[in-house]
């Protein structure tokens, strides 16, 4: 087994653990892996010349890019891994702001702080990807405070 295959297998297993979706569906064989030259650890996964995910050095978990968010959105049903926001929030996210709790319409009940989430509008179109700051219940009940730290926006 080559180093690429070992790293890709690791990424698939990690993805399956975090998102509960078959990692092979998200990371097909055509993916290219990028490793850190200093540590030899997996850093980025590319598909068709676009980075779809990174492995965070601080905790070893996966962060999605916008391309990865689009890919994940095509693999999930319902609101899994999603925070649905109102139209006001869509505009604010596009301007570079984070998602406020008062702007959340719906959210996957499994979301907890630090979860990797997809921010979508009410028509389920991707607006951005980021990290949850609150639980899903808090996002829907609270009126103030940051619900999602948006990392990449459309």
For 93-111, write each residue's pLDDT tens digit. 999 999 999 999 999 999 9
pLDDT of amino acid 44: 96
The CATH class of the 3-73 domain is alpha beta
Q: Does domain 82-153 have CATH number 3.60.21.10?
A: no
Residue 58 near residue 65, CB atoms below 8 Å? no
Measured CA distances, 1 to 4, 8, 46, 125 (Å): 8, 11, 20, 39
**16-57 confidence digits (pLDDT tens):** 999 999 999 999 999 999 999 988 889 999 999 999 999 988
Is residue 58 scored above 90 in pLDDT? Answer: no
Is residue 5 scored above 80 in pLDDT? Answer: yes
Domain limits of the chain?
Answer: 3-73, 82-153
């Amino acid at each position: 087994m080559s180093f690429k295959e070992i790293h890709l297998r690791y990424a698939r297993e990690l993805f399956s653990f975090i998102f509960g979706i078959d990692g092979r569906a998200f990371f097909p064989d055509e993916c290219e892996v990028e490793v850190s030259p200093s540590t030899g650890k997996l850093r980025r996964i590319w598909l068709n010349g676009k980075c779809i995910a990174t492995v965070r050095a601080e905790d070893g978990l996966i962060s999605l890019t916008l391309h990865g968010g689009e890919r994940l959105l095509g693999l999930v049903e319902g609101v899994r891994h999603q925070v649905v926001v109102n139209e006001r929030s869509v505009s604010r996210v596009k301007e570079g702001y984070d998602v406020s709790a008062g702007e959340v319409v719906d959210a996957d009940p499994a979301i907890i702080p630090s979860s990797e989430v997809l921010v979508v509008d009410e028509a389920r179109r991707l607006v951005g990807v980021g990290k949850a700051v609150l639980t899903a219940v808090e996002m829907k009940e609270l009126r103030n405070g940051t619900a999602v730290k948006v990392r990449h926006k459309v």
